[in-house]
Amino acid sequence: MIRVILRRLAFALPVLMATSIGMFLLGAASPMDPARQYAGAAAFTMSEENLHQIRDNWGVDDPLHEQYLRWAGNLLQGDLGWSTSRHQAVGEVIAGRAGWTLLLIGLTLVVVLIGSLVAGTIAAYRRGGLLDRGVRAAAYAVQSMPSFWLALAAIAVFSLGLGWFPAGGLTDVRATSVTFADVAHHLVLPVTVLAISQAPWFLLFVRDSVAESLREDHVLAARARGLAGRTVLFGHALRTALLPFLTLVGTHLPELVGGSVLVETVFSLPGLGAVSVHAALGSDFPLLAAITLITTAVVLTANLFTDLAYTAADPRVRIDG
């Protein structure tokens, strides 16, 4: 297993480089001017000389490969650079915000997994019945709705209409400290919206996979032996039907991250997602590069964990690395 992890780490390096270079190139193709974004409204009255001066300070007009190598060199020394859109050190930006994004994504993942497993299994058990059809229809419908639209709709109904939940932010505007209850209250809508927007995919997969496995030879044989319904379902049907589920969770993670960006923006949550939109609009390379690196690293690690979990769960599979 150690060998597998080491091999994955070695593989991770070129992936991280490739994604960061790709991000730089995309940014270079963007027509946005970081100096103008920094100046804001003053950009209209500022002289071209001043803007040029700002650009020079940041080195944003230098050739791309110079910028990249400079960034990479600083990175290796532990310096993530300066965020032009946030006017802060990138390290500070990330440290202050990454936790909330992780919280949002983590909670959502748990809700999605549990919800889709339960609903999908019940729908498969009563295949063709009213619940099954209802669940599938709802899943297809929700899958076609953009997550930010769902978020706005949720705000309209539950915040503005019913007043049950706050419309955004992480804590009450009047709060002076961060309490668990306050944060929890504020996270209900964002987590629910993100979970609902991501769940259909998992739910449909679980439902199809379990429905098929209930007709498989080994499940029929288990029933024929007189094993209790619960034993057959959990010990035989689910055990084999959900094996691919593990890997799919890992590969679906980037979608979840993408969805979180939109949800954070709509709900004004102080996470990395909201910040990255702003950074993209302002061609804030250092911050974007750091966010890209972190996201890539998280996805690679998640995939490694799911692959290891798969080998543990399925005795037929020996990981190749």
Partner 1 sequence: MTDLLEITGLTVRFRLRDAVVQAVTNLDLTVRRGELLAVVGESGCGKSVLAHALLGLLPANAGVTGRALITLPPAAGVARTSTDRTFVLPGGGERPGDRTVVLPGGGERPGDRTVVLPGGGERPGDRTFVLPGGGERPGDRTVDLLGCGETTLARQIRGRRIGLIPQSPATALTVVRKGRRLLAETLKQHGRDPRLADQVAAEAGLDPADLERYPFELSGGMAQRLCTALALASDPELLIADEPTSGLDRPLVDHTLDLLRRRCDEGAAVLLITHDLAAAERVADTVAVMYASRIVEHRPAADLFRAPAHPYSQGLLNALPDRDFRAIPGHPPMLTALPPGCAFAARCTRVTDACKVQPAGPVACHHPLTTAEVPA
Are 283 and 34 within 8 A, CB to CB? yes
Residue placing its CB nearer to partner 1 in the complex, 5 or 221: 221
x/- binding map, residues 173-212, to partner 1, per CB under 8 A? Answer: ----------------------------------------
For residue 236, the minimal CB distance to partner 1 (Å) is 5
Which residue number, 3 or 225, has a Cβ lying nearer to partner 1? 225
Dig out the tokens for 156 from the structure: 């309209």
Per DSSP, 30 falls in state S
For the bound state, the minimum distance from the C-beta of residue 313 to partner 1, rounded and expressed in Å, comes to 7
Asked whether position 224 contacts partner 1 by CB under 8 A, the answer is yes
Contact assessment for residue 306 and residue 247, using Cβ atoms and an 8 Å cutoff: yes
* CB nearer partner 1, residue 163 or residue 229: 229
Out of 65, 221, 234, 251, the only residue in the binding site for partner 1 (CB under 8 A) is: 221
Among positions 93-152, residues that touch partner 1 (CB under 8 A) are 127-128
Structure tokens at 180: 């668990």
Q: How far apart are CA 26 and CA 21, in angstroms?
A: 9
SS3 88: strand
C-alpha distance from residue 11 to each of 17, 53, 194, 297 (Å): 11, 41, 31, 11
d(CA 141, CA 290): 36
Among 50, 231, 247, 301, binds partner 1 (CB under 8 A): 231
If binding is defined by CB under 8 A, does position 247 make contact with partner 1? no
Which listed range, 28-36, 100-108, 186-194, 216-224, lies at the site for partner 1 (CB under 8 A)?
216-224
Q: Footprint of partner 1 on residues 286-315 (CB under 8 A)?
A: 313-315
Residue 151 near residue 192, CB atoms below 8 Å? no
Q: Which stretch binds partner 1 (CB under 8 A): 39-47, 185-193, 239-247, 257-265?
A: 239-247
13 vs 224 by CB, closer to partner 1: 224
Exactly one of 74, 240, 247, 303 binds partner 1 (CB under 8 A); which one? 240
Is the CA virtual torsion 44, 29, 84, 265 positive or negative? positive
> Measured from the CB of residue 241, what is the shortest distance to partner 1 in angstroms?
11
Number of residues that this document lists for the chain: 321
Phi, psi of 89 (to 5 degrees): -70, 140
Minimum Å gap between C-beta 81 and partner 1 is: 48
Question: Is residue 225 at the binding interface for partner 1, with CB under 8 A as the rule?
Answer: yes
At closest approach, how far in Å is the CB of 62 from partner 1?
57
Note whether 228 binds partner 1 by CB under 8 A: yes
- Using CB under 8 A as the binding rule, whether residue 235 contacts partner 1 is answered as yes
Binding of partner 1 by 236 (CB under 8 A): yes
Helix (H, G, I), strand (E, B) or coil at 294: helix
- Comparing CA positions, the residue from 128, 101, 110, 149 lying closest to residue 257 is 101
Q: Could you tell me how many residues of this chain bind partner 1 (CB under 8 A)?
A: 27
> With helix as H, strand as E and coil as C, how does 126-138 read?
CCCCHHHHHHHHH
Report how far apart, in Å, the C-alpha atoms of 2 and of each of 179, 246, 304, 313, 314 are.
41, 21, 12, 18, 19
Q: Contact residues for partner 1 (CB under 8 A)?
A: 127-128, 215-229, 231, 235-236, 239-240, 243, 313-316
